[in-house]
């Protein structure tokens, strides 16, 4: 690891692979012998067209996305997609189902309420677990079912793909996208992910959409840049696409393929999160978390100290040791370590070593 770099446990924008950053640095002044930077490249050139194709083809291979699924590159963040979904896939009088078990799925449901009748599929659970399949009550008339596979703030990760019969399933995978293989991809009508966690810089959303999802609405007039059908027809280029972000995504996909693909990544992520969870579980309650054991996220680990007054000092001293980004989200406070794909096992080892040392100093 470059000696000037710290270990970045931030929830996003998050840590990127050093090799990806180095490649981008090396190519910054002259990208692929064009004599210019990728940052200066016009999106109507054949070079960019090739980059777009290559990015799509790499993610298809990596995530085993069948050919018939469309891949869109969107802007406006995952938050804009919260609104686009209901505008694209139903009419105002339609009902849609939302599984809500944390901040982001609640946010998505609230945005959909502006455009459709939202039915919440599960009882409120204090945002400490994911509902079981048997706890889901989906209305049969619903036009789609939405859920968030990993609640970034509450540290909850679904361990199964909800079975919603023939109703299209839509998933916000922002914070665990490409951290493991995508199970049962054909069950999804749409998967989307903000890229600033496991893929690259902020500003790009990748959407994977099954063809039967297009043209679902009847007469809704929606803003052009939110219209998935128009975006699909225009190869995600209704306006100037985020050229640099797409380039960075391609570099990351290449890196993940070179590392051996998502199965290997999954094993690494399991190792990293277990190391941290075992440390917390073995701390005699000095550290603890609220999530139900079975639903603990491998990507985002929110935790607290028994003496919460020590948390500020914990975060400060960790920073001095080169361990940054450990402050919990303002909604829930405390601490949180995000362990995205590019976080190394070495980084997590350093974190748990620091946690053990801090405990001894303060018990």
Is the separation of the CB atoms in 207 and 190 below 8 Å?
Answer: yes
Query: Could you say which of 38, 74, 78, 99 contacts ligand PMP (CB under 6 A)?
Result: 78
**# residues contacting ligand PMP (CB under 6 A):** 11
CA–CA separation, 170 and 16 (whole Å): 27
Picking from 338, 360, 350, the residue whose alpha carbon sits closest to that of residue 150 is 338
Pairing of strands 205-209, 70-74: antiparallel
The strand ranges marked E within the chain are 7-8, 70-74, 95-98, 117-120, 145-148, 150-151, 156-157, 169-172, 188-194, 205-209, 287-288, 300-305, 323-324, 335-338
Residue 269 contacts by C-beta under 8 Å, 6 or more apart in sequence? 179, 180, 298, 299, 339, 341
Task: Tell me if residue 271 is catalytic.
Answer: no
CA–CA separation, 59 and 52 (whole Å): 11
We find the least distance from the C-beta atom of residue 275 to ligand PMP, in angstroms, to be 23
3 state DSSP class of 302: strand
Q: What are phi and psi of 360, to 5 degrees?
A: -60, -40
Task: Tell me if residue 172 is catalytic.
Answer: yes
Query: Could you say which of 10, 12, 122, 199 contacts ligand PMP (CB under 6 A)?
Result: 12
Does 148 bind ligand PMP (CB under 6 A)? Our answer is yes
Query: Could you say which of 54, 75, 79, 117 contacts ligand PMP (CB under 6 A)?
Result: 79
We find the least distance from the C-beta atom of residue 277 to ligand PMP, in angstroms, to be 20
Closer residue to ligand PMP (CB): 249 or 254: 249
Residue nearest ligand PMP by beta-carbon distance: 77
CA–CA separation, 238 and 44 (whole Å): 11
Does 174 bind ligand PMP (CB under 6 A)? Our answer is yes
Does 355 bind ligand PMP (CB under 6 A)? Our answer is no
Query: Could you say which of 84, 175, 297, 341 contacts ligand PMP (CB under 6 A)?
Result: 175
CA–CA separation, 334 and 320 (whole Å): 18
Query: Could you say which of 94, 104, 143, 327 is catalytic?
Result: 104
Convert residues 92-111 into a mask of x (bound to ligand PMP by CB under 6 A) and - (unbound): ------------x-------
DSSP-derived secondary structure letter, 304: E
Task: Tell me if residue 113 is catalytic.
Answer: no
Query: Given the rule CB under 6 A, which of 41-49, 59-67, 171-179, 239-247 is the region that contacts ligand PMP?
Result: 171-179
Does 338 bind ligand PMP (CB under 6 A)? Our answer is no
We find the least distance from the C-beta atom of residue 76 to ligand PMP, in angstroms, to be 7
Does 287 bind ligand PMP (CB under 6 A)? Our answer is no
Query: Would you please indicate which residues are annotated as catalytic (active-site) residues?
Result: 104, 172, 197
Q: Which residues bind ligand PMP (CB under 6 A)?
A: 12, 77-79, 104, 148, 152, 172, 174-175, 194
């Amino acid at each position: 690891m470059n000696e000037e770099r710290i270990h970045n446990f931030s929830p996003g924008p998050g840590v990127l692979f050093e090799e990806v950053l180095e490649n981008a640095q090396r190519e910054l002044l002259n990208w692929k012998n064009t004599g210019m930077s990728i940052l200066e490249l016009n999106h109507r050139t054949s070079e960019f067209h090739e980059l777009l194709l290559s990015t799509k083809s790499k993610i298809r291979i990596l995530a085993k996305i069948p050919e018939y699924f469309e891949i869109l590159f969107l802007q406006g963040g995952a938050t804009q997609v919260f609104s686009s979904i209901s505008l694209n896939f139903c009419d105002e009088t339609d009902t849609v189902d939302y599984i809500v078990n944390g901040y982001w799925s609640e946010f998505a449901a609230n945005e959909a309420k502006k455009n459709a009748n939202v039915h919440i599929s599960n009882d409120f659970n204090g945002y400490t677990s994911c509902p079981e399949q048997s706890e889901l009550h989906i209305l049969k008339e619903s036009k789609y079912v939405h859920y968030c596979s990993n609640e970034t703030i509450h540290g909850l990760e679904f361990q199964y793909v909800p079975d919603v019969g023939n109703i299209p399933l839509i998933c916000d995978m922002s914070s665990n996208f490409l951290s493991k293989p995508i199970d049962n991809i054909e069950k999804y009508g749409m998967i989307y992910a903000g890229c600033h966690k496991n893929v690259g810089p902020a500003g790009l959303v990748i959407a994977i959409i099954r063809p039967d999802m297009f043209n679902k609405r009847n007469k809704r007039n929606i803003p052009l840049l939110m219209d998935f059908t128009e975006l699909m027809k225009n190869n995600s280029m209704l306006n100037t696409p985020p050229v640099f972000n797409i380039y960075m995504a391609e570099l990351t996909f290449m890196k993940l393929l070179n590392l051996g693909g998502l199965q290997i990544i999954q094993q690494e992520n399991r190792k990293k999160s277990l190391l941290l969870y075992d440390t917390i579980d073995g701390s005699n309650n000095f550290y603890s978390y609220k999530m139900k054991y079975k639903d603990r996220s491998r990507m985002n680990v929110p935790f607290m100290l028994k003496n919460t007054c020590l948390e500020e000092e914990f975060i400060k001293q960790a920073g001095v040791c080169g361990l940054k980004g450990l402050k919990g989200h303002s909604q829930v406070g405390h601490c949180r370590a995000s362990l995205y794909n590019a976080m190394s096992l070495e980084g997590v080892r350093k974190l748990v070593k620091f946690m053990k040392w801090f405990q001894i100093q303060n018990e």
